[in-house]
Amino acid sequence: MSQPSLTTDVTHRLVSTPAGRTHLVEQGTGPLVLLVHGFPEFWYSWRHQLPALAAAGYRAVAIDVRGYGRSSRPAPVSAYRMLELVADNVAVVEALGAETAVIVGHDWGSTIAANSALTRPDVFRAVGLLSVPYTPPGGPRPSEVFAQLGGDEEFYVSYFQAPGRAEAEIEPDVRGWLAGFYAALSADTMPAPGAPDPHFVSRGGTLRDRFPAGRLPAWLSDDDLAVYAEEFERTGMSGALNRYRNMDRDWEDLAAFHGRPITQPSLFLGGALDASTTWLTAAIHAYPATLPGLVASHILDGCGHWIQQERRDQVNRILTDWLAALPG
């Protein structure tokens, strides 16, 4: 299937990384800006940012995180721990002939970007975080926290833990599941206040039981959905879901960084209707201590989770203004 013309001027490359190979898409020349997607997406979620950043004088590079797209998909679940993903990002920067980069991430990509900046400040000179606020490593063990959420219902992160369980729900109808998941977290199609929360699963039920049906969000065309569905039909979902299955390992691996702030120049963007942002309001309020280099923080009214696609022009303006103000 041909992809929309928005992506025709990009260059696809495969580079050697600890994952095996990492697929990336780049556009433009200038200082390197590394774009890291979240779940369940791949480099394509940055299709609106690549040309905008290139036009502003940057070398914009969107990767497929290991387990996604055309990047390698190692078999062991433990291969998807955070420090492995950080190592992939460092290797991408080196493979592109750069010494440093600005890193920007959305959803899981926000957490990957934050931990890349935290653990490798020598490589990542600034960090932009979309939708998921920064919280320093540490605190209670993640699996214990998630198990306590929802009462008689099961939080989606806990639901994703057992290999094969979520795959059995998603893979028989990837296109339909993705359409519902994207709609459930988009401002114009998410369930009304008071409706059952799509982040939780009824005992014996599935996530898709609570997805809205029959209408795609405004940001997602049929062609865009086909691109996403085609990729996940080809790869399967295990590589993507394995990120969730390493949160306790991350907690252990990052013990030396528990409680540490990120000191590089930073940016946060969140949607006012996005649970990923609103649930972590306390983390945003803690930014003077946890992100002392914060340049700007924006909460976009009427915006859901897929922020760089729902509000592409606004996000592009904020990103390019922030990048232009960074030192050196």
Query: In Å, what is the CA distance from 51 to each residue of 29, 222, 325?
Result: 11, 21, 19
CA 296/CA 168 separation, integer angstroms: 41
Residue 305 annotated in active site: yes
Among candidate residues 88, 107, 250, 253, the one labeled active-site is 107
115 backbone φψ class: left, alpha, beta (φ>0; ψ -120 to 50): alpha
| Burial tier of 194 (Cβ tally within 10 Å: 0-12, 13-18, 19+) | exposed
Residue type present at position 309: Q
Helix (H) or strand (E) holding 278: helix 275-278
* 3-class state of residue 300 by DSSP: strand
Task: Provide φ and ψ at 293, rounded to 5°.
Answer: -95, 15
Catalytic residues: 107, 305
